[in-house]
Amino acid sequence: MVAFPFIFFVYPSLSSPHPILKTALENDINDNSKIMKKLILSLTFLFVVRLAFAVEGMWLPLLLGLLNEAEMQSLGMKMTAEDIYSVNKGSLKDAIVQFGGGCTAEIISGQGLLLTNHHCGFGSIQQHSSLEHNYLEDGFWAKTLKDELPNEGLTVTFISRIEDVTAVALAGVTDDMDKRLRQSTIDKNLEGFKSSAKKEAYEDIMIRPFFNGNQYFMFVTVTYKDIRLVGAPPSSIGKFGADTDNWVWPRHTGDFSMFRIYADKNNLPAEYSPDNVPMKPKHFLPISLDGVAEGDFTLVFGFPGRTNEYLPSYAIEQLADVLDPARVMVRDKTLAIWDGAMRADAQVKIQYASKQAGLANAWKKWQGEVLGLHKTGAVAKKQQYETDFKKLVAINPKFAKYQNLLPQFEQLYKDITPYAEAKAYYDEILGSNVEILRLAGRFANLLKAYDKNGAPGMADEIRDLKPWLSGFYKNYRPEIDQRVFAAQMEVLVKKLGKDFQSATLNQMLANANGNYDKLAENMFSNAIIIDSAAVFTMFDKPMDEIMRLVVEQPICQLVINLRDVYTKNITPKYNEYNDQIDNLQATYMRAQMEVFTNKKFYPDANSTMRCSYGQVQGYHPQDAVTYAAQTYLDGVMEKYVPGDYEFDVPARIRELYDKKDYGQYGENGKMPVCFLGSNHTTGGNSGSPAIDANGNLIGLNFDRVWEGTMSDYNYDPSICRNIMVDARYVLFLVDKYAGATRLIKEMKLVHPKKGTPTPPAPKKEKGAKPTMKAQSGSLRPEKLEKE
Ligand code: ARG
Ligand code: GLU
């Protein structure tokens, strides 16, 4: 077992160690938690004073009581940690789900009504859209439960409970073990533990490493599989400002959509069935009608995907100077072609909507990230941090083992960079930009299956491939992809070193006299695989014949050779260096926590449930510029360009604006739209609820500001802000714009500030087991409270 006091997530800032801290660090303590509690209590005062705005961190809900509660309350929170996360009673966590794997959603009624972002529901909305029923364009509102639309493959996952299983995972693990032995020891430990862990039949168990494998947590989860689309505004609201406004403040996007969880008659998860009924949650979020003011407490509760806050400067240099620019350059080319085609053709606009949104989102984020890393001097900051690290290591013989860490990193990042760059180009081009390469890759897999298991193996593979192909062809336009192919082959040839070039590509290019358009034409005009009818006819032929036809396709020959280069010339070296970097990072993580006793540590995001807390807060992006924290419908109208691709505004909104008809959702004659917070968030936090001091919903997280997108690597509290849609705007759109009053009726609208019924913190259910049975009492929706 690695002897390391990991309970110290937080190293309080003190110039000389607090006596208790000293005891804790210097003695080999077994009962960390008792001491830690004392320590936290005694240091609360210092935290409060020093860290009023320092709200960096994505914290594990089960440790809030130990580590964060005092600070959260000092920022205005009226709840206890137990109100947020409890295994003994319904708590806030029971209203939060991971949505579709990559987003977050929250329950806002006693009938399983879910709120998430428009861009999180986008794929489902697109799936149900056609030129006749264009829900992307016009929005969708199910009139009754019966009209709610099922979505195959869409799931949501609840967290029943979380447990620290570090001691189990690391039993028998020693510092000097090599990576493989260490991992196999951990795997064995966890395998045994998992099979004996207590859980219900409908629950699953997931165990994840934290702090680069220095700590482990178990998540017991429940996944529902019948999730139906309830409502979505048109894209002119849900995606207002589109790519121009994406990642930017001031923002005016109504980025929300609604779904509903359906369960079997026992309230348990079930595959889709018309007999399923709306799920009854253990808790749902009441919605505040009172809005927010600068300085109000905000809690963002969700499933942040990935951050890397503890990397060495060399990694940041590689990212900002090599990897991000390479990926951006590739996507520049694809997006220019896709965007032109989408603007020219309404059918293409539907077909490419989801693909384009995904590609454009990261493309723009990476650009903001590079700018932000440069602007905040992230590399220099890390270098300073490393200098401090080296100094502290040098004066303490206990840390001698850490002396070589940074020079080793420097060498490894130097070694890996050419491979990482080549990999970035291949991953981008073969993985997400050139569609025919992805398609041809699937056909190349048929050949592999034939090699491995003969004709029957290939027949199996074809059966599995068919549904994927149907989905692919539905949204595929070869004439667009052909142009992308030409542009990206030029990138592969011109940007990659000799060792990473494909001989087949170079030969084919020579055959086309070095002309990329001609090369593309040669590929596409001879390709059976882009023609859905031809492919499905081909599948009726004998296996040998199919194999011959696939092998003959130039595009399949090309993809086979490209993959060959990738797996022989790029990934072996890349993986070798990367494994060493991973190992070193695990040690560096531990070292940072031991050496910087003044620093506050929280685990990097890893798609597990986290809490980020902060306040409603604007910022200064540059000299003499100040951003207010709240936007209004007036801003939507300022941006309005009639008929524009990104900035059109529906007539009904303009009408409501003219009449200032905002019902109970307006504020002093204005309609609030979005607001800013100082919560530390990342991708995956989309759709996360913004929760007020009392546990009510005040907004829906959906983005970060341009200057702060580098927060995944270098959080800077002065300019890192998250963007939320104001809950009142959501309600206004559902009620006044869409007239979906049946949905408003099932919600619980409250006035926590004006003094009318504030919802109590989730009610204690003494001894209640975390079963999925509905619980009654305060968690039932109450009558709509009128102003
Ligand atoms: N930037 C936000 C996120 O990372 C919103 C993306 C959706 N909007 C868009 N214009 N693609 O997901
Ligand atoms: N829009 C992002 C998402 O889909 C959240 C914004 C961010 O990355 O902070 O999760």
For ligand 2, what atom is nearest to the CA of residue 361?
A: 1
Specify the pLDDT at position 53.
Answer: 56
pLDDT interval class at 708 (50, 70, 90): very high
| Ligand 2: centre distance to CA 705 (Å) | 10
246 lines ligand 1 (CB under 6 A): yes
* 686 labelled catalytic: yes
Separation CA 157–CA 139 (nearest Å): 26
Which of 704, 705, 725 has most ligand 2 atoms within 8 Å of its beta carbon, as the pocket-test mutant?
Answer: 704
Q: Which residue's CA is the nearest one to ligand 2's atom 9? A: 682
Q: Which residue's CA is the nearest one to ligand 2's atom 6? A: 703
For ligand 2, what atom is nearest to the CA of residue 711?
A: 9
Q: SS3 of 275, please?
A: coil
| Ligand 2: centre distance to CA 119 (Å) | 10
For ligand 2, what atom is nearest to the CA of residue 684?
A: 10
Specify the pLDDT at position 16.
Answer: 30
Specify the pLDDT at position 783.
Answer: 29
Calculate mean pLDDT across residues 49-64: 75
Q: What is this structure's pTM?
A: 0.89
User: What lines the ligand 2 site, CB under 6 Å?
Assistant: 103, 681-686, 702-704
Residue 786 in this model has a pLDDT that exceeds 50: no
Calculate mean pLDDT across residues 562-575: 98
119 lines ligand 1 (CB under 6 A): yes
Q: Tokens 């196999």 identify what position?
A: 184
256 lines ligand 1 (CB under 6 A): no
| Ligand 2: centre distance to CA 669 (Å) | 31
Residue 26, both tokens:
């210097």
| Ligand 1: centre distance to CA 721 (Å) | 15
Ligand nearest to the CA of 241: 1
Higher pLDDT, 691 or 52: 691
Ligand nearest to the CA of 306: 2
- Asked if residues 93 and 770 have their Cβ atoms less than 8 Å apart, the reply is no
Specify the pLDDT at position 2.
Answer: 31
Residue 4 in this model has a pLDDT that exceeds 70: no
* pLDDT tens digits along 84-137: 999 999 999 999 999 998 999 999 999 999 999 999 999 999 999 999 999 999
Please report, rounded to a whole number, the percentage of residues in the chain having pLDDT higher than 90: 87
Separation CA 42–CA 658 (nearest Å): 56
Which of 703, 704, 721, 724 has most ligand 1 atoms within 8 Å of its beta carbon, as the pocket-test mutant?
Answer: 703
239 lines ligand 1 (CB under 6 A): yes
Which of 365, 682, 706, 721 has most ligand 2 atoms within 8 Å of its beta carbon, as the pocket-test mutant?
Answer: 682
* pLDDT tens digits along 209-257: 999 999 999 999 999 999 999 999 999 999 999 999 999 999 999 999 9
Report the sign of the C-alpha dihedral through residues 366, 369, 373, 375, in that order.
positive
Element (H, E) at 98: strand 96-99
Which of 365, 369, 702 has most ligand 2 atoms within 8 Å of its beta carbon, as the pocket-test mutant?
Answer: 702
Separation CA 25–CA 261 (nearest Å): 48
Ligand nearest to the CA of 709: 2
For ligand 2, what atom is nearest to the CA of residue 103?
A: 10
Q: Which residue's CA is the nearest one to ligand 1's atom 6? A: 361
Q: Which of 118, 119, 252, 680 is catalytic?
A: 119
| Ligand 1: centre distance to CA 254 (Å) | 12
- Asked if residues 777 and 763 have their Cβ atoms less than 8 Å apart, the reply is yes
- Asked if residues 35 and 12 have their Cβ atoms less than 8 Å apart, the reply is no
**AA identity, residue 671:** M
Specify the pLDDT at position 754.
Answer: 84
Specify the pLDDT at position 610.
Answer: 98
pLDDT interval class at 539 (50, 70, 90): very high
Separation CA 596–CA 392 (nearest Å): 8
Q: Which residue's CA is the nearest one to ligand 2's atom 8? A: 683
| Ligand 1: centre distance to CA 746 (Å) | 29
pLDDT interval class at 756 (50, 70, 90): low
602-637: b (≥16 Cβ within 10 Å) or e: bbbbbbbbbbbbbbbbbbebeeeeebebbbbbebbe
Alpha helices in 19-147 (DSSP H): 19-26, 32-50, 64-67, 69-74, 81-84, 118-127, 135-138
Which of 339, 674, 686, 724 has most ligand 1 atoms within 8 Å of its beta carbon, as the pocket-test mutant?
Answer: 686
Using H for helix, E for strand and C for coil, what is the string for 489-528? Answer: HHHHHHHCCHHHCCHHHHHHHHHCCCCHHHHHHHHHHCCC
Residue 768 in this model has a pLDDT that exceeds 60: no
Specify the pLDDT at position 762.
Answer: 52
362 lines ligand 1 (CB under 6 A): no
705 lines ligand 1 (CB under 6 A): no
For ligand 1, what atom is nearest to the CA of residue 118?
A: 7
Separation CA 500–CA 419 (nearest Å): 9
Specify the pLDDT at position 180.
Answer: 86
724 lines ligand 1 (CB under 6 A): no
For ligand 2, what atom is nearest to the CA of residue 704?
A: 9
CB atoms within 10 A of CB 514: 11
Mean pLDDT across the chain:
90
Ligand nearest to the CA of 722: 2
* pLDDT tens digits along 607-640: 999 999 999 999 999 999 999 999 999 999 999 9
Residue 426, both tokens:
């291949």
| Ligand 1: centre distance to CA 246 (Å) | 6
pLDDT interval class at 735 (50, 70, 90): very high
Q: SS3 of 676, please?
A: strand
Specify the pLDDT at position 43.
Answer: 42
| Ligand 1: centre distance to CA 72 (Å) | 29
| Ligand 2: centre distance to CA 349 (Å) | 23
| Ligand 2: centre distance to CA 526 (Å) | 41
| Ligand 2: centre distance to CA 103 (Å) | 8
For the chain, the C-alpha Rg in angstroms (whole number) is 27
pLDDT interval class at 40 (50, 70, 90): very low
Q: Which residue's CA is the nearest one to ligand 2's atom 2? A: 683
Kindly give, in sequence order, each residue whose CB lies less than 8 Å from that of residue 362, ignoring residues fewer than 6 positions away. 327, 331
> How many residues are recorded in the chain?
787
SS3 content of the chain, % helix, strand, coil (to 5): 50, 15, 35
Q: Which of 226, 243, 255, 604 is catalytic?
A: 255
703 lines ligand 1 (CB under 6 A): yes
For ligand 1, what atom is nearest to the CA of residue 241?
A: 10
For ligand 2, what atom is nearest to the CA of residue 681?
A: 9
Which of 103, 116, 235, 246 has most ligand 1 atoms within 8 Å of its beta carbon, as the pocket-test mutant?
Answer: 246
φ, ψ of residue 307 to 5 degrees: the values are -135, 160
Calculate mean pLDDT across residues 351-361: 96
| Ligand 1: centre distance to CA 702 (Å) | 7
Q: Which residue's CA is the nearest one to ligand 1's atom 7? A: 119
155 lines ligand 1 (CB under 6 A): no
Residue 600 in this model has a pLDDT that exceeds 80: no
Please report, rounded to a whole number, the percentage of residues in the chain having pLDDT higher than 70: 89
| Ligand 1: centre distance to CA 56 (Å) | 22
